[in-house]
Amino acid sequence: MAGPPPSVETVGLGRRLAARTVDYVLVVIAACVFFVFMALVTVALTPGAETTDAQSSVWAFLFFFGWGLLLFFYDWLYLVAWGRTIGKMMLGIKVVSAADGGRLTQGQALGRAAFFGLPQTLPGVGHLFSLVEALPVNFDPQSRALHDRAAGTVVIRG
């Protein structure tokens, strides 16, 4: 791979982690708003009715295992549309193709988001996986995590 132009500065783990923290806070807020909204809608549509075991199971499943799906869709949609998430926008970084420094393809955005987000559907283990797969940023010449390598992307200032 040729990589981005030499004049482009790649981004290290610290700035990427700060951007990811902003994204996590925003995703948590969105998830909380969603759950509160759905609870209010459920109460409004069925006043006085009790929830079934199936409904409770679905909500519990979403609460415990939906995090990875939420991260996947958040990353994928923002990367396809703008090449960066809100956290990356705030920190002045973006994700580009490692081959030519250009916009991500649909496949690159999808693959990167899947490799990073979907393992986090497994509470604890998935988060540990995501932390470990990000550590190569410190040793890679282009500061690429495993999800960058899998998708053929690099994170740069810009």
Specify if 64 maps to a domain: yes
Q: What rounded mean pLDDT belongs to the chain?
A: 90
Could you tell me how far CA 37 lies from the centroid of its own chain?
Answer: 23
What pTM was estimated for this model as a whole?
0.86
> What pLDDT is stored for residue 5 in this prediction?
56
Specify if 4 maps to a domain: no
> What pLDDT is stored for residue 46 in this prediction?
76
pLDDT tens-place string over residues 39-94: 888 777 777 777 778 878 888 888 888 899 999 999 999 999 999 999 999 999 99
Specify if 2 maps to a domain: no
Specify if 84 maps to a domain: yes
Domain count, the chain: 1
For the chain, how many residues are written?
158
pLDDT tens-place string over residues 130-144: 999 999 999 999 999
Region 10-31: mean pLDDT is: 95
Specify if 3 maps to a domain: no
Domain residues for 68?
13-157
Which residue type, as a one-letter code, is found at position 21? T
> In 3-state terms, the chain is what percent helix, strand and coil (to 5)?
65, 5, 25
On whether the CB atoms of residues 94 and 158 are closer than 8 A, the answer is yes
On whether the CB atoms of residues 108 and 98 are closer than 8 A, the answer is no
> What pLDDT is stored for residue 4 in this prediction?
57
Q: Which residues contact 14 (CB under 8 A, 6 or more apart)?
A: none
Specify if 8 maps to a domain: no
